[in-house]
């Protein structure tokens, strides 16, 4: 029989192994933006691409926190209501408030090559570390930088390469938008003449009685002149079985038995 100390040591070992596995899985994961937000616009091709998603009714810090929780970025810019950056090894996520719809947040997923070709290091200096900016723009000729500042400001500071367009069928297939609403509804069960059920449109709610049909499903209970009750329904008038004293007979053995 194992001693308590040995069991405690084994439990610690299992805990450490589990923590290492979770860490490795997190490091190998990806930020699945397309599984949570609808795709709105696309720019670029090959290794220089930019995908823009919309987070309706969410703030910039909320969205940045949700994405960072999926996979820890190499660097995350300080919390800001206007824009934030999440930097990964192969992409930079630019989370920004939509200037046309301030209640929404735009999520721009840029490849590192797209950042090199369109952004300016001076613009990113206010959000990212200088060492990280230096590595992003390594081997980029000085003076060839763009002046792009994100999808929300593309009219005033457009990208240097390519233009944004609506997603094609191929884009949607590669990064399908979210089609399931996060909001639900609670329906109250209906009693009486109407019953709760699934309508023809697939939505739970009241199921109306068809007045055009000749038969009903609810019926009504009435009382006859002789005091008995009946129910009118799809099968006509129904009368309950009358109950009375059990009939008996005297058998040959003199016992009283109940007739079946």
Residue 189 pLDDT exceeds 90: no
Please tell me the distance from the alpha carbon of residue 103 to that of residue 244, in angstroms, as a whole number: 74
Residue 111 pLDDT exceeds 80: yes
Q: In this structure, what token pair is assigned to residue 159?
A: 């990208």
CB atoms within 10 A of CB 12: 10
pLDDT given for residue 213 in this prediction: 44
Q: By mean pLDDT, which of 82-91, 120-129, 142-151, 233-242 is the weakest?
A: 233-242
Please tell me the distance from the alpha carbon of residue 238 to that of residue 148, in angstroms, as a whole number: 80
Could you tell me how many helices (H) and strands (E) the chain has, helices first? 6, 13
Question: Is 90 in a helix, a strand, or coil?
Answer: coil
**Where does the pLDDT of residue 2 fall: very low under 50, low under 70, confident under 90, or very high at 90 and above?**
low
The percentage of the chain sitting over the pLDDT mark of 90, rounded to a whole number, equals 46
The predicted-structure confidence for 150-171, as pLDDT tens digits, reads as follows: 999 999 999 999 999 999 988 8
35-74 burial, b for 16+ CB within 10 Å, e for fewer?
ebbbbbbbbbeeebbbbbbbbeebbbeebbebbbeeeebe
pLDDT given for residue 183 in this prediction: 42
Q: In this structure, what token pair is assigned to residue 163?
A: 């233009």
**What pTM was estimated for this model as a whole?**
0.58
The torsion angle over the Cα atoms of residues 131, 137, 142 and 145, rounded to 10 degrees, is: -120
Strand residue runs (E) in the chain: 39-45, 48-55, 75-76, 83-87, 91-97, 105-111, 195-198, 204-207, 220-223, 229-233, 236-238, 248-250, 256-258
51 forms bridges with which residues in the sheet? 42, 109
What residue segments make up the domains of the chain, in order of their start? 32-174
**Where does the pLDDT of residue 36 fall: very low under 50, low under 70, confident under 90, or very high at 90 and above?**
confident
Residue 259 pLDDT exceeds 50: yes
Please tell me the distance from the alpha carbon of residue 54 to that of residue 95, in angstroms, as a whole number: 10
CB atoms within 10 A of CB 138: 8
Average pLDDT, the chain: 73
The predicted-structure confidence for 194-246, as pLDDT tens digits, reads as follows: 444 444 344 434 444 444 444 444 454 555 555 554 544 444 444 445 555 55
- For tokens 């009241």, the residue is 206
The predicted-structure confidence for 69-85, as pLDDT tens digits, reads as follows: 988 999 999 999 999 99
């Amino acid at each position: 029989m194992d001693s308590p100390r040995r069991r405690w040591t084994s439990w610690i070992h299992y805990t450490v192994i589990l923590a290492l596995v979770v860490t490795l899985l997190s490091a190998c994961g990806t930020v699945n933006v397309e599984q949570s937000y609808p795709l709105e616009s696309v720019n670029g091709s090959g290794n220089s691409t930019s995908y823009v998603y919309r987070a309706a009714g969410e703030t910039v810090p909320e969205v940045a926190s949700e994405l960072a929780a999926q996979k820890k970025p190499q660097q995350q810019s300080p919390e800001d209501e206007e824009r934030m950056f999440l930097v990964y090894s192969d992409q930079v996520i630019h989370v920004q408030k939509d200037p046309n719809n301030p209640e929404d947040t735009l999520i721009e997923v840029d490849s590192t090559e797209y950042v090199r070709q369109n952004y300016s290091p001076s613009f990113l200096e206010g959000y990212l570390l200088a060492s990280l900016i230096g590595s992003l723009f390594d081997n980029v000729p000085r003076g060839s930088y763009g002046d792009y500042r994100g999808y929300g400001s593309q009219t005033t500071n457009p990208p240097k390469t390519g233009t944004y367009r609506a997603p094609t069928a191929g884009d949607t297939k590669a990064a399908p938008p979210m089609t399931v609403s996060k909001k639900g509804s609670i329906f109250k069960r209906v009693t009486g003449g109407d019953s709760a059920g699934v309508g023809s449109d697939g939505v739970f709610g009241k199921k109306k009685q068809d007045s055009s049909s000749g038969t009903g499903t609810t019926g009504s209970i009435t009382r006859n002149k002789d005091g008995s009750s009946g129910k009118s329904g799809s099968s006509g008038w129904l009368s309950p079985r009358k109950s009375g004293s059990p009939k008996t007979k005297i058998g040959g053995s003199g016992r009283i038995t109940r007739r079946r």
